[in-house]
Structure 1
Amino acid sequence: MAGLLPRITTSAMAMAIVITVLSISNELAVSALRHAQCMFFFGDSQFDNGNNNDLATLAKVNYRPYGIDFPSGPTGRFANGRNVPDYLAEFLGFPTSIQPFASVRGSEILNGVNYASGGAGILDETGILLGDRITMNEQLQNHRTVVGRIAALRGRNPTAAKEYLSKCVYVVNIGSNDYLNNYLLPTYPTRFFFTPDSFAQRLIVSLSQQLRELYSLGARKTAVFGIGYLGCLPQTVATGTPGNATGCVDNVNAIVQLFNDRMKPLIDDLNRSQRNAKYTYINITSISSPGDPALAGIRVANVACCPVSPQTGLCLRDSIPCNNRDEYTFWDNFHPTSIVNRAAAARAFRAALFTDAYPVDIRQLARQ
């Protein structure tokens, strides 16, 4: 599982994350402009919308109360309703959500595909204790298959397919599990072989190779999310030692920040070296910092809305969640509620602070 999550101080729960949703929601709602030809999503449970449903894994949520606020009920989304890819697709002008690789059919792939998988990481060994998952490298293999199908739909012309794909937006959100379900687990030997700094560098080198592979498959507009405040997850706080007034496990956030600190140099390198391509970094820790009362209705910051399994931190099957879901930051012990997902997607789409995205937000990226 993963953490695209707001950092909440116990003294300022109403100041959950800096998001200017109210100021742009009307524009987003009425925008009929299709900003991109198609969209492709890669990542973990933050983005998964059904790819894990038929896998033998602990990281799947195709049961109630997941989807309680989604029109068709449980779908495999790790939320009470919609997730970030759903909202980004809406903001970019798509009439429906992008379909998961597990169930996309025929010409639906021309709108794009969601490859994300709960428990997945940058590293192949990440998440192995959860069971089956579709690693980032396997997601790239699945995309290679889809690119071939798109070429077939475009008259079996690889050049026409790559021209088509060059007008699409790619969004990558991966890396949280490389900490939650690898480096930070005492059952993994990783910490014996890598310092926090060298592990962060290992992840960045691997991610760079994966993004270059995506480029070779036709990606020309790519947004890459950083990792959120994993030390503020209810699961982390419950099993760790909270720091000072933040109520978070500060040393976990410090370890993860070593990865995020390398993101801008990675983006700069890719923008210099990959011809005719544009890359941008979505800084979720900036989006998650307290200060703006745009989500002042959120009052419960450090506990899950649903009863959770002590083993997995996910909602217990058929349990009864809280009624006031729009007042909660967390849906389960790892994942935000849909109202927070919408807020994060809105700021990724249109940055409110210059620190939210580098060098551009997703709206600008789509227009380039």
Structure 2
Amino acid sequence: MESKLKPLELAAIPLLLALLNLQMLANAVPQVPCYFIFGDSLSDCGNNNKLVTMAKVNYSPYGIDFPQGPTGRFNNGRTIHDFLVKLLEFEDYIPPFADLEGKNILNGVNYASGASGIREETGQHLGGRIPLNEQIKNHQTIISKISASMGNDSAAKSHLSRCIYSVQIGSNDYLNNYFRPELYNTSQTYTPQEYATVLVQQLSDQLKTLYDSGARKFTVYGLGLIGCTPDARSVHGTGTPCVDKFNEASIPFNERLRLLIDQLNHNLIDAKFTFIMPSGNTTALVSYSACCQTRGHAGELCLPDSKPCDDRNRYVFWDGVHPTDTWNEIVANSVYGSEKPEVAQPFNIQKLAQQ
């Protein structure tokens, strides 16, 4: 049968299909209704900007590869969670608790704060920060607002039960607490094994508080190789590629955290917890130095208005301790879809969203 469409009409079909596809994407529904973020500088997207603290980065060259420039993200572009919310099909990034004007809190809130930890005192020598307990209190404020906007507590509870709660914290409890004996007494009080037990027990209580507030889907992150950062290598280097005592201290923390996730899944049967180990293939990346110019010896952060390296997509580390946009994208893709239990156990993030 011959087509009755004119040539111009036939030529318009691909354009119409493209427009229809764009409309479908615009109307796409995220895989979960909201995403809440708790953590430290690896996740902070601006909560420290207004604090009196050395741990804030709302200046150039931070954000050099982010459309809005310096926002308070501790790298050149996006965090792991910025990539994850896009993989989960959210239209926008999750806004910081410190700046919610005009933002849709029903999609989630980012409470993370640079220099913060599981313990209250962690990072206090750097100035203001928002410890995990305070982040959880800030979430209670948001829950009240969500309940008010939805009209009743039961609707809010149903909404929250389908959201993902991301908790990525603990590195500062070592780098800006335990391994700062001149400032904190934790290393004199606890062995590394005992300290890991104390930290994970406190984190357990904090996760249960979130559970009691309606959270049912959790991603809880282990500690990466905290002894392999450019700053650690510079300050504590012993001739080995990494600072072994830092990495060795994180092992019992991760072991206890994995056990905790198993226990929580067994005891809280209406909730789903998954252990996430941020990792990825770095063989093609520069992993031993920072991309930006830092403050010399013991320099964690970039010098203001300094010129960073041009080939930023080839580096693991942006500054002395924080990874680049490129590394964060590699990790996000890995933990979102990996089937490897050493990366995500018992669920990857894609499968957790479907639970």
Q: TM-score, normalised by structure 1?
A: 0.86
Q: Cα offset for 1:189?
A: 1.4
Does the 8 A contact of 1:40 with 1:171 survive in 2? yes
Q: Where does residue 249 of structure 2 map in the other structure?
A: 255
Q: Cα offset for 1:283?
A: 1.7
* Alpha-carbon distance in 2 for matches of 1:296, 1:359: 27
Q: Does 1:170 align with 2:161?
A: no
Q: Where does residue 22 of structure 1 map in the other structure?
A: none
* Alpha-carbon distance in 1 for matches of 2:78, 2:235: 28
Q: Cα offset for 1:365?
A: 0.6
SS class of match (2:274): strand
Q: Quickly say closer, same or farther: Cα 1:343–1:317, change in 2 above 3 A.
A: same
* Alpha-carbon distance in 2 for matches of 1:213, 1:254: 30
Provide Cα deviations, 1:146-179, integer angstroms capped at 9, x if missing partner. Answer: 0000000011x11111001011111000000000
Q: Where does residue 159 of structure 1 map in the other structure?
A: 154
SS class of match (2:261): helix
SS class of match (2:89): coil
Q: Does 1:274 align with 2:268?
A: yes
SS class of match (1:320): coil
Provide Cα deviations, 1:306-346, integer angstroms capped at 9, x if missing partner. Answer: 00013541000000000010011110000001000011111
Q: Cα offset for 1:31?
A: 12
The count of corresponding residues between Structure 1 and Structure 2 is 329
Q: Cα offset for 1:272?
A: 1.6
Matches within 5 A, 1:1-368: 32=28, 34-105=30-101, 108-155=104-151, 157-187=152-182, 188-242=184-238, 244=240, 247-284=241-278, 287-288=279-280, 292=281, 297-298=284-285, 300-310=286-296, 311-368=298-355
SS class of match (2:167): strand
Provide Cα deviations, 1:11-62, integer angstroms capped at 9, x if missing partner. Answer: xxxxxxxxxxxxxxxxxx9995521000000000000000000000000000
Q: Cα offset for 1:347?
A: 1.0
Flag the structure with larger Rg. Answer: 2
Q: Cα offset for 1:349?
A: 0.8
Q: Cα offset for 1:210?
A: 0.2
SS class of match (2:62): coil
Q: Quickly say closer, same or farther: Cα 1:153–1:30, change in 2 above 3 A.
A: closer
Q: Cα offset for 1:352?
A: 4.5
SS class of match (2:121): coil
SS class of match (1:262): helix
Aligned amino acid, residue 259 of structure 1: F
Q: TM-score, normalised by structure 2?
A: 0.90
Q: Where does residue 11 of structure 1 map in the other structure?
A: none
Q: Cα offset for 1:105?
A: 3.1
Higher relative contact order (CA 8 A, sep 6+): 1
SS class of match (1:215): helix
* Alpha-carbon distance in 1 for matches of 2:303, 2:236: 22
Runs of 4+ in 1 over 2 A off after TM superposition: 29-33, 241-244
* Alpha-carbon distance in 1 for matches of 2:334, 2:287: 20
* Alpha-carbon distance in 2 for matches of 1:31, 1:256: 43
Does the 8 A contact of 1:31 with 1:93 survive in 2? no
Gaps of 5+ in 1: 1-28
* Alpha-carbon distance in 1 for matches of 2:66, 2:265: 38
SS class of match (2:109): strand
Provide Cα deviations, 1:178-199, integer angstroms capped at 9, x if missing partner. Answer: 0000001122211111000000
Identity of aligned residues (%): 48
Does the 8 A contact of 2:264 with 2:273 survive in 1? yes
Superposition RMSD on alpha carbons, in Å? 1.7
Q: Quickly say closer, same or farther: Cα 1:321–1:265, change in 2 above 3 A.
A: same
